[in-house]
C-alpha cells in the first residue's frame, strides 16, 4: 500500500524516524494508527440504544450513589429530598 502524506505529516514522520532510526517508516505509521484507534475505542464506551440498555446503564450509574460522601455544607440527605414523594 502506498500512503501519500501532507508536508506536515512527512515532517512528523521524519522527526519520529530521526529519533527512532531502528523503526521503518511503515512501522512508525502502523504504531501511530494502532495507538490512535486504541484511544478512540477506549475513550468512547458504546452508547446504550435500547430501553433495556438505557435502564441498565442508569441502574449502574445509581448503584453506588449512596457511597458518595456529602460535600461540605450539605445538610440534607437523599431521604430528605424524597420524603414527600412516597
Q: What is the pLDDT of residue 84?
A: 75
Q: List CB contacts of 23: < 8 A, sequence separation 6 or more.
A: 16, 17, 31
Q: List CB contacts of 17: < 8 A, sequence separation 6 or more.
A: 23, 25, 28
> Which of 36, 56, 39 lies closest to 48, judged by CA?
56
Regarding pTM above 0.75, the answer is no
Each residue's pLDDT tens digit, 31-66: 999 888 887 777 666 678 889 988 888 888 888 777
Amino acid at each position: 500500500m502506498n500512503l501519500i502524506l501532507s508536508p506536515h505529516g512527512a515532517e512528523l514522520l521524519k522527526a519520529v524516524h530521526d529519533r527512532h532510526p531502528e523503526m521503518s517508516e511503515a512501522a512508525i505509521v502502523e504504531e501511530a494508527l494502532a495507538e490512535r484507534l486504541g484511544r478512540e475505542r477506549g475513550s468512547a464506551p458504546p452508547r446504550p440504544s435500547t430501553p433495556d440498555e438505557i435502564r441498565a446503564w442508569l441502574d449502574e450509574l445509581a448503584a453506588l450513589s449512596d457511597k458518595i460522601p456529602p460535600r461540605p455544607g450539605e445538610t440534607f440527605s437523599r431521604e430528605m429530598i424524597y420524603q414527600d414523594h412516597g
